[in-house]
Amino acid sequence: MNLDPVLRPWQPGDIDDLIFHGNNARVAAFMTDQFPHPYTREAAEQFINKTMQYNPAQVFAITIDDKAIGGIGIYPQNDISRMNAEIGYWLGETFWNKGIITKCIPKIVEYGFSTFDIDRIFARPFGTNIASQKALEKCGFIFEGRFKNTWIKNNERFDEMIYAIRKSD
């Protein structure tokens, strides 16, 4: 199997793949509560319909052999944070620890800096998500800070980590 990921906009034909890979408690554990668990067909349809409305595109399917195995997005901020964008991503568990995310992060960074009027892209992994932190560092993101016990997920407190890369880097 070719493990070179391609980022492309989500399509209605990705619904079954999204449900298959997204309906996993271990994936949802490192996501905000906006990422549902269980991941239903209705949630998948709503998500894909929403992502198709962004112009320019902001949320992409991570695909291998044109099958959606995860997602990645870039979210430009507004008001006094308007020169910043946040990235977020997830990957189906069967594709963890294969270097796929470290191939996707530079693609979304390049897309973000060339598409939006921003000079900083940041990510906020959970303090317990060491794999995500290492992937960000591998891709040139700098650790900017830790906020202790700021997040609550499944009635448990977690640290919020801040990593960023700047256009000038």
User: Top-level CATH class of 6-166?
Assistant: alpha beta
In tens, the pLDDT along 144-158 reads 999 999 999 999 999
Residue 10 · residue 66 · CB < 8 Å:
no
- Nearest Cα to Cα of residue 163 among 83, 84, 52: 84
User: What percentage of the chain carries pLDDT values higher than 70?
Assistant: 99
- Angle between the N-to-C axes of helices 100-115 and 130-138, in degrees from 0 to 180, rounded to the nearest 10: 60
Residue 81 · residue 119 · CB < 8 Å:
no
The total number of residues shown for the chain amounts to 169
Q: Where are the domains of the chain?
A: 6-166
Residue 62 · residue 68 · CB < 8 Å:
yes
Query: With 80 as the cut, is the pLDDT of residue 2 above it?
Result: no
